[in-house]
Amino acid sequence: GELLKAFCVCEGVRGGMSFHARDAMVSRMVRIFMRHGKKTTSQKIIDGAMGILKRDHNIQDPLKMLYEAVQNAKPLVETRPVINAGRKVLIPRPVSPERQESLALRFIRDAMRERNENGSPLRLANEILELHKKQGGARRRRDNQHRTAEANRAFVR
């Protein structure tokens, strides 16, 4: 009991209950963040980031902030390549809600991995904080995707 409690406090999760165990979006995030089948490592990164948000930034509900971050990273349109008159044309298409969430989580993962802070939980926490302010690498990628779709509006059928 005491060892488990010490482990959970050091990982930033109070009471021993981790975030991924009770939330569908977070468990999906765990699977998207996973590398080489190491699910536990992925869970520790996400729980650690939640702990950092709670402890260092005094955020009462880090899960709510995560949801807002994912919402701010969701792309509304994407471009699909289609061969038209012998050349590739990018055609803008609306993105389904399920794909919006998948893309947002992937954007967050990639932006987190490009950051230069020490430790994945810290990088993820900082990316979530920046997304909350509608900034950060994931938001930049979403905006670029929107810009590309806007530039190719002429090709909409």
Report yes or no on 3 lying in a domain: no
| Neighbour tally for 88: CB within 10 Å | 8
pLDDT at 22: 78
Report yes or no on 98 lying in a domain: yes
Report yes or no on 14 lying in a domain: no
Which domain covers residue 95, as residue numbers? 24-155
Instruction: Pull the structure tokens for residue 92.
Output: 């803008």
Report yes or no on 6 lying in a domain: no
Q: How many independent structural domains does the chain possess? A: 1
Question: What are φ and ψ of residue 84, in 5° steps?
Answer: -130, 120
Report yes or no on 2 lying in a domain: no
pLDDT at 7: 43
Report yes or no on 42 lying in a domain: yes
Report yes or no on 12 lying in a domain: no
Nearest CA to 7 out of 42, 35, 44 is that of 44
pTM (2 d.p.)? 0.85
CATH label of the domain that carries residue 143: 1.10.455.10
pLDDT at 17: 53
Q: Digits of tens for pLDDT over the chain (157 positions)?
A: 454 444 444 444 444 556 666 788 999 999 999 999 999 999 999 999 999 999 999 999 999 999 999 999 999 999 999 998 899 999 999 999 999 999 999 999 999 999 999 999 999 999 999 999 999 999 999 999 999 999 999 887 7
pLDDT at 5: 42
